[in-house]
Amino acid sequence: MSKLKIALQKSGRLSEKSISLLGECGIKFPNGGGKLISESSNFPIEILFLRDDDIPQYVEQQVVDIGIVGENVFLESQKNINIIEKLLFSACRLSLAVPKEISYTGPDFFNNKRVATSYPNILKAYFQKNNIHATIEVISGSVEIAPGIGLADGICDIVSSGSTLLSNGLKEVEKILNSQAVMVATQNLDADKQLILDKLLFRIRSVLKAKENKYILLNTPNKQLEKIIRILPGMNSPTILPLAKEGWSSLHSVISEDKFWDIIDELKEAGAEGILVVPIEKMIL
Ligand code: ATP
Ligand code: ZN
């Protein structure tokens, strides 16, 4: 029987979360000991651990069928592969930054300047689109030190909190793109492997959906029930159970993580008590 081959980052910012995502999908595999290939004992999948930058090429060449990389790496690679799912972790952005003492007025600043980056393709496209003529200095790591050592006037690099920029005397001035971990796939998957991938995607979507939602339980006086139901944008109509306490009910529903804090305030104002919010492990829709 055929097996699906997936490439994950060997060690780095995506590794742990990629491995736990497969774990949350119920896929068991030995991991550790610096192994490069691992095979699942309960799902037809083989896992290869690679440098993230190599993953798009391996997928394009069908050494592996799918992989998990940052959108930034996917876009920079310019390979003929597809994003099949956004995975909602490792959110970051690719931005331009300049020394903090510069009085920055707009992208025109970069005209006739030198910009250091590990993302020359994305940056070139950005400069072309904005009609900016700049020199791109390609370096593979520690980009943030380039202005300090006189290699460049600015940089284009991954930012999440901005603390690395700050500690190198830089400030973020333009966001070029938002990124998150994505699953990429070859454009030519045979039917057997497609079936396995469909199974895997079904599990991944259930896990992601569950992470985006919370299960909420609360108690309410019956006279407030209708008002509270209107506040809760549940996936279906909420479950209502009578409490032993006369004139009170317990209400159960699912709410999206995003809306969580706003809704909690509204619920309290409407008279809800004993509010419990619990994580959902899997959500099958
Ligand atoms: P490798 O040795 O595999 O080439 P790397 O050093 O290129 O690793 P990491 O720093 O581990 O890569 O980052 C991997 C990916 O994680 C990045 O391509 C990006 O999508 C994302 N990422 C990078 N920095 C951050 C951050 N500070 N916060 C969140 N996600 C990030
Ligand atoms: Zn890398």
pLDDT at 46: 98
Question: Does the model's pTM come out above 0.85?
Answer: yes
The domains found in the chain, sorted by start residue, are: 4-90+181-189 (3.40.190.10), 92-178 (3.40.190.10), 213-279 (3.30.70.120)
Q: What gap in Å lies between CA 154 and CA 147, rounded to an integer?
A: 6
* Residues with a CB atom less than 6 Å from ligand 1: 9, 12-14, 51-53, 70, 72-73, 90, 92, 158, 160, 179
What burial letters (b/e) apply to 114-137, b meaning 16+ CB within 10 Å?
bbbbbbeebbeebbeeeebebebb
Span 192-202, pLDDT tens digits? 999 999 999 99
pLDDT at 34: 82
Q: How far is ligand 1, taken at its centre, from the CA of residue 36, in Å?
A: 19
Report CA-CA distances (Å) from 217 to 167, 228, 261.
44, 12, 15
pLDDT at 163: 95
For ligand 1, atom 26, the nearest C-alpha belongs to 160
pLDDT at 208: 96
Q: What gap in Å lies between CA 95 and CA 27, rounded to an integer?
A: 36
pLDDT at 236: 66
Residue stretches of the chain with pLDDT short of 50: none
> Cα(first)–Cα(last) distance of the chain, in Å?
29
